[in-house]
């Protein structure tokens, strides 16, 4: 890897938030380095199936979108952030349309569908069930045409560089194990989520919480880590990856049935299959528990739906199911929840500013409080667009000085050429299983305490190599510890965080966001009453 001496801005991650920010930063000629640890088309963005939620029908729709977002967030949404999301969303989607994003149309008009907890049809989709991939393709094509944007693939960001209390760049590790450092005026974390902290996840292998862990080590504030959203419907077949079965299936009329063939959602929520995700996920989990603790199947049933052709509306899902002998039109499809989206992350304001000077964050790695305790379906892609653009504008305006000096060429310390060891692979599997069993969909103090002890034991194994697998493992250990600490501190049940030992919501004590940083215990704060970040 050629050493990068200096640049104006570094962006970690090439998903929707990172690419949109890069385009914004380069608009006035700034040099932008976008770093991604695999190919440019391997991110959570490209796996997003269902669509992007956006209020394209005027002020009334915008107001309803805000209400839906707040209601889904179970009393914890930062209303300022949610207002920014829904009001600026239409402008950002119009921008995508100008850049050639091919959303599905019918009779020349954009097709809109509905998903869980939305009060009306407002979900745009592309190529049926490949919305994220299409948006990513459009943004990447646009970014590649901008001369000042450098796209660096197969490069892992290992840590943030700190000078005089401010972020000054990043440490990098290429696929050959060679290390270097890149200096910059400011750094944007757009590195996505951390689904690989759980054994069952819809996330790709790259989702290892790198940005959150790096920000934590640098001293940034981390918020709402107890709120990990479990998507209700992932394919549940022995030996097969937890493939996402989009909420749009239920938006088109699919039912959920238990082992007795009964629809059961009427016992849990008046919106039935289109209830908020946390409600549906827990309902499926409970229906899948037999009287003696044995696992029972739960199914997605689309056999009765005639208004759409599943193979046409959901080509990617239909193709994957066909590879395993299943068809939406013919079969009951076995499902179970899987870790899907982290509502928490690096705390930011609505301009992407973190608590550390010259460090910004946007997308799933960040926590503005926009999702509260439970993200509204299909708000994630919109979040990346809106807050990626906002972070870019703040960085451009606020980083009003240029990098001085020749930059760094010295190698990052550590055994950069070592391959991932058998020990690190074993520890990763044990960590993921521990988190699934002890800190997953249903939690209590005993299980969370056991998870915390196990994480400390894993950290004590002292796997100190410096290849990418071990960098990722250490990041996941950090993320796991933050999830457990935050979940132990919240003595209530709210949204995606459910405590069997504290099953009620407690607004008086916990109607606030959790906040933690190095050397400090978990505290609870009201984002809308705290001062702006650095």
C-alpha separations of 509 from 224, 339, 489, 521, 526 in Å: 15, 27, 11, 16, 12
Percentage above 90 pLDDT, the chain? 78
Residue written as tokens 């959901």?
314
State the pLDDT at residue 49: 75
Residue by residue, DSSP assigns 201-218 as BSS-TT-S-HHHHHHHHH
Average of per-residue pLDDT values in the chain: 90
State the pLDDT at residue 464: 63
> Could you tell me if residue 309 is inside a domain?
yes
CB atoms within 10 A of CB 48: 29
Q: At what angle do helices 79-98 and 131-144 cross, to 10 degrees?
A: 70
The pTM for the full model equals 0.92
C-alpha separations of 96 from 46, 220, 362 in Å: 15, 32, 18
> Could you tell me if residue 307 is inside a domain?
yes
Q: Nearest-5° angle of CA 256, CA 257, CA 262?
A: 130
> Could you tell me if residue 331 is inside a domain?
yes
Percentage above 70 pLDDT, the chain? 93
C-alpha separations of 212 from 194, 366, 524 in Å: 9, 8, 19
State the pLDDT at residue 413: 41
What is the average per-residue pLDDT within 272-298? Answer: 90
Rounded CA gap, 65 and 85, in Å? 9
Select from 92, 352, 342, 49 the least CA-distant residue to 192: 342
* 226-277 per-position pLDDT tens digit: 999 999 999 999 989 889 998 889 989 999 999 999 999 999 999 999 998 8
> Could you tell me if residue 262 is inside a domain?
yes
> Could you tell me if residue 299 is inside a domain?
yes
Q: In CATH, what number is assigned to the domain containing residue 275? A: 3.90.700.10
Element (H, E) at 179: strand 179-183
Maximum distance among all Cα pairs of the chain, rounded to whole angstroms:
70
State the pLDDT at residue 406: 38
> Could you tell me if residue 329 is inside a domain?
yes
> Could you tell me if residue 96 is inside a domain?
no
How many domains does the structure of the chain reveal? 1
Asked whether residue 19 carries a pLDDT value surpassing 50, the answer given is yes
* 66-94 per-position pLDDT tens digit: 999 999 999 999 999 999 999 999 999 99
Please list the active-site residues.
277
All residues at 6 or more sequence positions from 240 whose CB lies less than 8 Å from its CB, including other chains? 324
Q: For residues 177 and 331, which has the higher predicted lDDT (pLDDT)?
A: 331
Asked whether residue 418 carries a pLDDT value surpassing 50, the answer given is no
> Could you tell me if residue 280 is inside a domain?
yes
> In angstroms, how far is CA 18 from the centroid of its own chain?
13
Asked whether residue 534 carries a pLDDT value surpassing 90, the answer given is no
State the pLDDT at residue 177: 84
Asked whether residue 280 carries a pLDDT value surpassing 50, the answer given is yes
Domain that holds residue 306: 231-338
Residue written as tokens 């770093």?
35
State the pLDDT at residue 410: 36
Residue by residue, DSSP assigns 490-511 as --S-BTTB-BTTB-S--HHHHS
Asked whether residue 420 carries a pLDDT value surpassing 80, the answer given is no
Rounded CA gap, 318 and 237, in Å? 15
**Cβ contact 338:201 at 8 Å:** yes
Element (H, E) at 17: helix 16-25
């Amino acid at each position: 890897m050629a050493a990068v001496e200096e640049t104006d801005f570094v962006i970690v991650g090439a998903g929707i938030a990172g690419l949109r920010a890069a385009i914004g930063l380069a608009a006035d000629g700034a040099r932008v380095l976008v770093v991604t640890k695999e190919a440019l088309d391997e991110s959570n963005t490209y796996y997003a199936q269902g669509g992007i939620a956006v209020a394209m029908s005027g002020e009334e729709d915008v107001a309803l979108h805000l209400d839906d977002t707040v209601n889904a967030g179970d009393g914890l949404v930062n209303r300022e952030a949610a207002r920014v999301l829904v009001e600026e969303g239409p402008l950002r989607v119009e921008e995508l349309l100008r850049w050639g994003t091919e959303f599905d149309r019918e009779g020349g008009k954009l097709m809109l569908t509905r998903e869980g907890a939305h009060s009306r049809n407002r979900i745009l989709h592309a190529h049926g069930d490949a919305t994220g991939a299409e948006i990513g393709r459009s943004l990447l094509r646009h970014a590649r045409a901008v001369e000042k944007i450098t796209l660096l693939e197969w490069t892992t960001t290992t840590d943030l560089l700190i000078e005089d209390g401010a972020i000054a760049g990043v440490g990098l590790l290429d696929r050959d194990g060679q290390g270097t450092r890149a200096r910059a005026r400011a750094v944007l974390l757009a590195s996505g989520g951390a689904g690989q902290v759980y054994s069952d996840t819809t996330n790709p292998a790259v989702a290892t919480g790198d940005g959150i862990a790096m920000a934590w080590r640098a001293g940034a504030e981390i918020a709402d880590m107890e709120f990990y959203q479990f998507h209700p419907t992932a394919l549940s077949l022995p030996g097969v990856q937890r493939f996402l079965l989009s909420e749009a299936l239920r938006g088109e009329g699919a039912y959920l049935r238990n082992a007795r063939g009964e629809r059961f959602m009427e016992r849990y929520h008046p919106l039935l299959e289109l209830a908020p995700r946390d409600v549906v996920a827990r309902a499926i989990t409970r229906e899948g528990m037999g009287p003696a603790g044995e696992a029972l199947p739960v199914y997605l049933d689309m056999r009765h739906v005639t208004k759409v052709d599943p193979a046409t509306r959901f080509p990617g899902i239909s193709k994957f199911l066909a590879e395993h002998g299943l068809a939406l039109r013919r079969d009951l499809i076995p499902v179970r929840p899987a870790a899907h989206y982290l509502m928490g992350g690096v705390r930011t304001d609505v301009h992407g500013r973190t608590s550390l000077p010259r460090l910004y964050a946007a997308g799933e790695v960040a926590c503005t409080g926009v999702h509260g305790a439970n993200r509204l379906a299909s708000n994630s892609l919109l979040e990346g667009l809106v807050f990626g653009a906002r972070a870019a504008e703040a960085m451009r305006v606020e980083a009003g000085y240029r990098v001085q000096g020749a930059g760094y060429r010295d190698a990052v310390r550590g055994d950069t050429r070592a391959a991932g060891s058998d020990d690190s692979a074993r520890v990763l599997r044990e960590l993921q299983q521990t988190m699934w069993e002890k800190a997953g969909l249903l939690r209590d103090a005993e299980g969370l305490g056991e998870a915390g002890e196990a994480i400390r034991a894993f950290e004590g194994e002292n796997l100190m190599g410096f290849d990418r697998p071990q960098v990722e493992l250490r990041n996941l250990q950090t993320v796991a510890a933050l999830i457990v600490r935050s979940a132990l501190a919240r003595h209530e049940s709210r949204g995606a965080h459910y405590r069997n030992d504290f099953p009620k919501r407690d607004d008086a004590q916990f109607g606030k966001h959790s906040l933690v940083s190095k050397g400090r215990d978990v505290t609870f704060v009201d984002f809308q009453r705290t001062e702006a970040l650095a």
